[in-house]
Amino acid sequence: MDDAGPARLPRFESIVRELTEPRASRPHMPGYGIKGPDEGSGLLPWSWAAERLAASRNYWVTTLWPDGRPHAMPVWGAWDGEALWFSSSLRSRKARNIAADPRCVVTTEDAAEPVVLEGGAAIVRDADAITRFADLMNAKYEAGMTVEFLDPAVNATIRVQPRWAFGIAHDDFTGSPTRWEFG
């Protein structure tokens, strides 16, 4: 292999990362004295949010009842780099709400440095995707989750695709709030 081969790969990976990372901006937070995007610690990098999404042990999922009321419940889940995954009984309120209206919010457990995802959820039935989810959960929680347990006839495997995300660093409340918009 010539010297150009290995040198091109990192450059290609950085281009792909630039194309897939969400666009960052300062959220509108009137009355909080929020600084401009170039002030304080500035806009947080997406890697900051992705690290917190991957590391969170628990997540809060908020779905909508058919009459529009919010329904919030904690779940175990896994961030795969693109979406947040969790499972629930098909008969659970979360799964029934998502089946009727995919809009939802998912937050990490850390209120001091939260990441909040707003997006659309879908119940996944693809066997390969369910197997991948089980692998992610077993690696994270040592849960012994089996594909049989995740039988789509009984349990919903749910994928939340973010449309927007929000994060804030506790040590710089007015200079770190960041909103990410996904393509």
Burial 15-29 (b: 16+ CB within 10 A, else e): eeeeeeebebebeee
CA angle 175, 177, 179 (to 5 degrees): 140
In angstroms, rounded to a whole number, what is the distance separating the alpha carbons of residues 43 and 37? 6
82 — pLDDT class (breaks 50, 70, 90): very high
Span 96-149, pLDDT tens digits: 999 999 999 999 999 999 999 999 999 999 999 999 999 999 999 998 888 888
- Domain extent listing, the chain: 24-181
Query: Token pair of 53, please?
Result: 């999404």
Q: What class does CATH assign to 24-181?
A: mainly beta
Span 17-39, pLDDT tens digits: 444 789 999 999 999 999 999 99
